[in-house]
Amino acid sequence: MTREPLDAVLARSTIDTLRFLAADAVERARSGHPGTPMEAAPLAYLLYRRHLRHNPADPAWPGRDRLVLSCGHASMLLYGVLHLAGYALSLDDLKNFRQLHSPAAGHPEFGHAPGVETTTGPLGQGLGVSVGMAMGGRFLAEQVSAELFNYRVYALCSDGDLMEGLSSEAASLAGHLHLGNLIVVYLDNRITIEGETSLAFSEQVATRFLAYDWQVLQVEGENLTEIEMALNAAKADPRPSLIIARTHIAPGAPTKQDSAEAHGAPLGAEELAATKSAYGWDPHQSFLVSEEVRAHMGACRTRGRHLQQQWQELLRDLEKNPSAGLLNWLRSRDGALPEGWDLHLPAFGAADGPLATRQASGIVLNALAARLPLLLGGSADLAPSTNTSLKGERSFSRTGSGRNLHFGVREHAMGAVLNGLSHTPGLIAYGATFLIFSDYMRPPMRLAAMMGLAPIYVFTHDSIALGEDGPTHQPVEQLPGLRALPNLHVIRPADANETAEAWRLAVERRNGPTALVLSRQGLPVLDPDRYAPADGVRRGGYVLAEEEGDLQALLLATGAEVHVALAARELLQAEGVATRVVSLPCWEKFAEQAESYRRQVLPPSCRARVAIEAASPLGWERWVGTEGEVIGMRGFGASAPGAVLLEHFGFTPEAVGKRVKELLARSKDVNPDAQS
């Protein structure tokens, strides 16, 4: 892309405008971080005005370059440059920085302001997401069209980003894969909230990234020529690039430059006025944008419109090509499945069991991959255990972008990378590990739910039944923890057919993430001639089996414990206790159903309710009520064979039956007229 010569005067005027838009907004809000936006203004100017392929009139243009502000506390830098570049972000929006309903939120929020590529705030997340975006871009370039999807991903990061462990995981993976479409700029201002970084951070960052097999370049943060040369060098290298920019926080502030005070608080009226005076600005004017600066940055709109027109013409030409099947798939689907689309999910019979739901999941996943060419994913070095390899597909490596991803033992990075992949047009991304290690993934999972992204998490080895590895590997509190995340659907299927339906829900859901929670141990396949069909999973919960006559007891369960409930029902039936078994694999979907359906499945008149789940009982009170019982885990398990542990901790038909009869007896004591 040919660029006009740099106009030093206009460049400096625009950079200073960005600095004071940020400082003014923070001052007006009486809250925020002025120092980093002020120091990074030269970088933002060069990127948006001269290097990024972007169109302010269409922030979602698929062919655009992406810029991720990993140091999300510098949000006013992003809002300021988006405003000047011509995005639909007004000066009044900037004046309402950090106020209720303002698109200019305290940290960038995806979907709130145009041009914000992802939600950042927790440090390191943006860097991890940018790795996923770069992987997604390279996948589309190699699998769909190198001409359409040759975009680059840029990220701005800070000392804090690089201190967080996530950055090490993500950068290591990016270097291993040679993601040459990823360019990260590190703002090396050597200041954190507590003071100088030397208090806790003295590593050689350049050496670290050279060891990751990145190209490393070093520039002065105010030297536009050096920065531009580094950006050009980064674009030319097949490796990811780290540009280390030596910067000064709050440059030009008479008493607060290079100080921790400039990091997380307004400069103060007196300091801000003195800073403006030092720059030759009117200290009494706020939110000042000259017509010359507006006209200069207006070139972003003209250039962006031209770039997108060229891209659209190329797209039309490529669509005429008979070999453009995957491109047409991407264009027609845009990541969503059409109404009535047949996924060709496998069906399982009783003779196929016993079958662990992790094994059934692998069968279903491969069937889906045959129908969904943009489905890709992998595991945190656990594919043989999680059954998440796509048979016959290539691996994603530095030499090719196949559909099998190898994240290595990097759950935190895997979660963030999945977010970046999920930001990529058309892709359906999944990642797998043991349920116990979902704890390492909580920050990116939370952000995915917040943004409405739709990665799929495959969590196996779902309870104490995994056995001999012991309590360090036996998940107990993870299920209620995941269920507490707003907009995350957690599905724990009871058999192979429920697993198929769980996958259906996951790939059809495009407005939030889904966690599939799967067993290590083999489970019977529920006989459709004896029990209700598994498509009840689509409603989150359903009546699996019951006796005719007056209902006396309800057994509620998920996953492997559904089979314990069914066996307990047989015992109770022999003693004349009419019992209903409810499979409740997805609480979130069940809660979405009409109240009339929920009352039909869980009739309020039946108060003898027992829930069975080999996990912490927290949350089950919503479904069993104050008079019900929960058979769950109140400790951390033990090291022993899984079957031994289940019996030891009371997950047996006999223990369930005993609890039901005790509950019924108590009910009679309270109400002597209750039916027997």
Annotated binding site for substrate: 33, 263, 358, 385, 461, 469, 473, 520
Instruction: Retrieve residue 562's tokens.
Output: 């559904």
Binding-site residues, in ranges, read: 33, 73, 121-123, 159-160, 189, 191, 263, 358, 385, 437, 461, 469, 473, 520
| β 514-517/542-546 pair status | unpaired
How would you classify the pairing of strands 579-583 and 542-546? antiparallel
Q: Are 247 and 189 in contact (CB under 8 A)?
A: yes
Amino acid at 540: G
Give binding residues for thiamine diphosphate as ranges.
73, 121-123, 160, 189, 263, 437
Q: Which amino acid is located at 285 in the chain?
A: Q
Strands 66-69, 153-157: pairing is parallel
* CA–CA separation, 676 and 667 (whole Å): 10
Q: Which is catalytic among the residues 39, 109, 169, 411?
A: 411
Sequence-distant (6+) residues with CB within 8 A of 412 are 128, 165, 166, 169, 440, 441, 443, 444
Q: For residues 660 and 609, is the Cβ–Cβ distance under 8 A? A: no
C-beta atoms surrounding 283 within 10 Å: 15
The amino acid occupying position 608 is A
The dihedral built from the CA positions of residue 184, 223, 231 and 67, taken in this order, carries a sign that is: positive
Distances (CA, A) of 672 to 115, 608, 675: 67, 15, 9
With CA atoms as reference, report the closest residue to 72 among 152, 160, 183: 160
SS3 state of residue 581? strand
Helix (H, G, I), strand (E, B) or coil at 532: coil
* Residue 411 annotated to the active site: yes
Q: For tokens 């759950």, what's the residue?
A: 411
- Please name the residues in contact with 126: beta carbons below 8 A apart, sequence gap of 6 or more: 68, 69, 70, 71, 72, 118, 120, 155, 157, 161
Active site residues: 411
